[in-house]
Chain A
Amino acid sequence: MISFSQVSKRFPGGFEALREVTFTIEAGEMAFVTGHSGAGKSTLLKLIAAIETPSSGSVVVNGQNIGKMSRAAVPYLRRNVGLVFQDHKLLFNRTAFENVMLPLHIAGFEPTEGAKRVRAALDKVGLLNREKAFPVALSGGEQQRLCIARAIVNRPSILLADEPTGNLDANYAHDILEMFKSFNQVGVTIVIATPDPSAARDWNARLLTLDHGVLTP
C-alpha cells in the first residue's frame, strides 16, 4: 500500500515539485500518474522509492514512513519496489542475463536458484533467447523489456514505471502496457507515470492527474 498525506516537495532553490498531495493506492491496484512535463510525476515516483524524501507531510510505503527511515533501511524497502526507468539504466558491460541477475545477487540468492528466476523473468518479457546479448545489441524496445525483467525478477510487491513507453512506437507501447497489466493480475501494485492519460482509460485503471505539483480531482 502507498499512502501520501499532505505531501510537499521543495527542491533547493525554492522550486516546489509537489504541493499538499494526498492519495492512497491500495495493494494490488493499478494506477496511472499523468500530467504535463514538470508536473511532478517523477518526483512522486521517487518519493515512493525513497530516492527523495518529502519536505513536509508523510509518505508511507508498505507500512514504512519514507521521511523517517534510517539510511540503512532504505535498501530493504527498495528490494520490494521494482523500478522501470525511461532511460533503462542498464549496465552496458554486462549481458542481459547478468543485468537481470544483479538484484538477486544483491539480495543474496544462490546462483542456481537465481538463474532459474532470471530465465523466468526474461521469458516473461520475451527475451529468453537474448540472455547472452549485451544491451548495446538490443533495440530500444528490447532494452525497455530488459529493464522490466530486472524490475520484476525479485518479485516486488510494488512496480514503479517512469514513462516506460516514452521512446517507443505505439505497438511496442501497447505490448509493454499489456505486460504491466499481467503483473497486476497476479497481485503486484503498479504505478505508471505517463504524459498520456488515454492508456488509463483504455485499461480502466485509477488515474491521478498532477498540475504544477497539485493533484487535480
Chain B
Amino acid sequence: MHHRQAVALVLRQFARAPVATFLTMLVIGVSLSLPAGLYSLLKNVNELARMARGEPQITLVLAANANSGAIDEIRSHLKNRGDIAEFRFISRDQALQELSKNAGLGDITAGLEKNPLPDIFTIRPAHREVESIVRLQQELQALPKVDAALLDEAWVKRLEALLGLGQKAVLILAMLLGFALVAITGNTIRLQILSARDEIEVSKLIGATDPFVRRPFLYHGALQGLCGGILAWAIVVATFQLLNGNVRILADLYSLNFHLTIPDAQDILGLLLFAALLGWLGAYLSVGRHLREIEPR
C-alpha cells in the first residue's frame, strides 16, 4: 500500500509542476537519445552491410596433384565439421565447361592445350562472426592438398573494425550520458528533498522510518528516468522517420531495398529499464547524502 501511495504522491508532484517536470525529462530524453539513436543506426548499418556483401564464402582451391582419394578425404572432413553450413564441389572440368558457356570465352578455352583450372570447394560458413570465419579459413588452409583457402577477408575485416569502433563509441557515449543522467536525477531529487524539508522533519517526528521517507524520492527518480527513456525512444523514432525518405531515395539509387528500421521491442525495453535504473540510482545516491542532514531538532 505504501508503494502505491508513494507512486500517487510522485504523480501529484509531477502534475503540480508540469513544465519543470517535462523539461527535466526532456533533458534526460535528449541525453539518452544520442546513444540510443547511434546504437540503432549501427544496427541498421550492420544490416545494410550484410545486404551489400551477401553471404560470406570461402573458396578452397585444391592442389593440381590432388587425386580423387584426396578430394574424398577433404569432402568427408568438410561434412564432419560443425561450423560449415553447406559446401559444393566444383571439379576442374565442370569449371571449364561453365567458363566456355560464357559468351566469347568459348574460343579461348577451346584453344587451351590442357585445363588450367583447379578443383575447388565453395563453402558457406555456419557462423557470421568474423573471428570464426577467419579461424575456419585458417584451419582449411592447413588441410593436405589444399593450395589456398580464399576469403574476401580485407573487406569483411574493415567493416567489422568500423562497426567495432562504432559500438565502442556507443558504449562510451552511453556511459558518459548515463553519468549525466545520474547527476541530473540526483540534482532534481536534492531540490525535491529541500522543498520537502518540513514534511520530512514532521514525518520523522511522528514515527516515519528511513525507508518510508526515502521511498517517494526513489520512485520519483525511477519514474523520471523512465519517462526520459520514453522521450528518448520517441526522439529516435521521429528522427528515423524523418530520415527514412532520404534513405529510401539513396537506397533506390544503389538498387537496394533498404530503409531504417526503428529499435525492436527488446532494445526499447532495455533502454527504458536502463533509464529507470539510472534514475533510481541517482535518487538513491542523492537521498542517502541529504536525508540524514534533516533530523528533527
Contact = CB atoms under 8 A, between A and B. Distances in A.
Contacts of A72: 209-210
A107 interface: yes
A206 interface: no
Contacts of B202: 89-91, 102
Contacts of A76: 207
Given A89-B202, A91-B199, A75 B207 contact: yes
B104 interface: no
A213 to B, nearest CB: 18
B199 A108 contact: no
A106 B2 CA distance: 8
A89 B201 contact: yes
B99 interface: no
B1 A108 contact: yes
B205 A89 contact: yes
Nearest to B1: A108
Nearest to B208: A106
Contacts of B198: 89, 91
Contact of B207 (A71, A89, A91, A103): A103
Contact of B297 (A51, A79, A150): A51
Interface in A10-36: none
Contacts, number: 48
B207 A106 contact: yes
Contacts of A116: none
User: Which of the listed residues B2, B206, B296 has the most CB atoms from chain A within 10 Å of its own CB?
Assistant: B206
Contacts of B205: 49, 51, 78, 83, 89
Given A51-B297, A108-B1, A108-B2, A102 B203 contact: yes
A103 B207 CA distance: 7
B92 interface: no
Contact of B206 (A71, A108, A110, A150): A150
B1 A110 contact: yes
B204 interface: yes
Contact of B296 (A51, A71, A90, A108): A51
Contacts of A102: 202-203, 206
Contacts of A110: 1
A75 B297 contact: no
A83 B206 contact: yes
Interface of B: 1-2, 5, 198-199, 201-210, 212, 296-297
20 contacts: A51-B297, A72-B209, A75-B204, A76-B207, A78-B204, A78-B205, A78-B206, A78-B207, A83-B205, A89-B198, A89-B205, A102-B202, A102-B203, A102-B206, A103-B207, A105-B5, A106-B206, A106-B207, A110-B1, A154-B207
Given A91-B198, A106-B212, 4 more contacts: A49-B205, A72-B209, A91-B202, A106-B208
